[in-house]
Amino acid sequence: MPSSTTIKLNSGHEMPLVGFGLWKVNNETCADQVYNAIKAGYRCVDGACDYGNEVESGQGVARAIKDGLVKRSDLFLVSKLWNSFHDGPRVEPICKKQLKDWGLDYFDLYIMHFPISLKYVDPEVRYPPGFTDENGNVTPGKASIQETWTAMEKLVEGGLCRSIGVSNFRGVLLMDLLRYAKIRPATLQIEHHPYLMQEGLAKYAQDEGIAVTAYSSFGPQSFLEMDMQQAKDAALLLEHPAIKKIAEKHGKTPAQVLLRWATQRNVAVIPKSNNKDRLAQNLDVLGFDLEEGDMKEIKGMDKGLRFNDPLNVSSGIPLSVRLWYLC
C-alpha cells in the first residue's frame, strides 16, 4: 500500500518523507545537484552551516524557482545551527547569515546540529568553523542546551523558522529538553540504518510526537571516502546478501530497500546522488511495502555500529565534547 509522502509535524507543517541531503555535496556541483533534485521531484532539501555549501544550495533553489519548476511554498528547506554558535546572542545572527546565504526569508526547519557547545569562532575568521577554534583547538563552549533552545524558539516567534528540531540527541538529552521547551522539537535527526537502528530512541521520539529523520541510511557507504577504518571493516549494506535478496524479490535496488525499510516505519530519509537514475530511484520508495519477514530479517542486522562518532575521526577530541556519545 503506498505511503503518505509527508509527515505532519507537531508544528502543524508537513515535511516530505524523502528529501535530498547536502552533506559532502561539493561546492562545484552543488547548485546543479540541488536544481536537478528539485527537477526530479524532491521537495525537501536538507543542508547545514557545517556542510559549507549553503550559498550554492540557495543558487540551485533560486534557479528552480526562476525556471518555474516550483514555488518557494512548494519546498521544505532545512538548515542547522553549528556548535560554535550556541551562545544565546549568537543564534539569531548566524541564522540570519545562513538565510542570506540561501537567499531565503525563512527556513522550514532549523535544527541544532549537535548537543555540543563549542567556543565561538567569528565567521569573518573562518566559516564554516568546524570543530576547532581560531587556534586550532577543540574548545568547549559554555552555553547550555536550554540557553540555545530558548534562542531557537525566538527564531520561530520572529518568523525566521517555521519549525525547529534537534540532531544527534540521545534519549536522556531529549527527555530533558522536553521538560523546559516552550516549543517542542518538531524533528529528531539521527544516524539510522540496519547496523544502528536506535529503536528505543526512535520510538520514544515518535511517541512524543517528534518526527524522526535518518541520515546515513546506507551505513558505512557515506564514511568510506573519509578513510574511516570502522567503515572499511563493515560489510557494505548495498552489497549485503540479505538486502540484495530482498531487493531482487521486490524488483527494487538495494538502496530502495534500505530507504523503504525506514520510510515504512515513518522515518524520513535524506539520501543524495548526482546520478539522474539513482535520484529518481531514491525518491521512488513509497509505492511498495516490504513484507513482515523482510522487516524481521533486516532488524536482525542491528549491531549498534555507529560511524558518526568523534572517536572514529580523531582521538584528539576532548572527553567533554565526546561525552554525549558515551551517555
Active site residue ranges? 51
Dihedral in degrees, nearest 10, Cα atoms 255, 259, 260, 261: 100
Q: List, in order, residues 6 or more apart from 6 with CB less than 8 Å away.
A: 14, 15, 16, 17
> Pick from 291, 162, 156, 278: which is nearest to 217 by CA?
278
CA distance 83 to 117: 5
Contact 259, 267 (CB under 8 A): no
Strand ordering across the sheet containing 164-167: 20-21, 44-46, 76-81, 109-112, 164-167, 187-191, 211-215, 267-269
The grid cell for 178 is 522536553
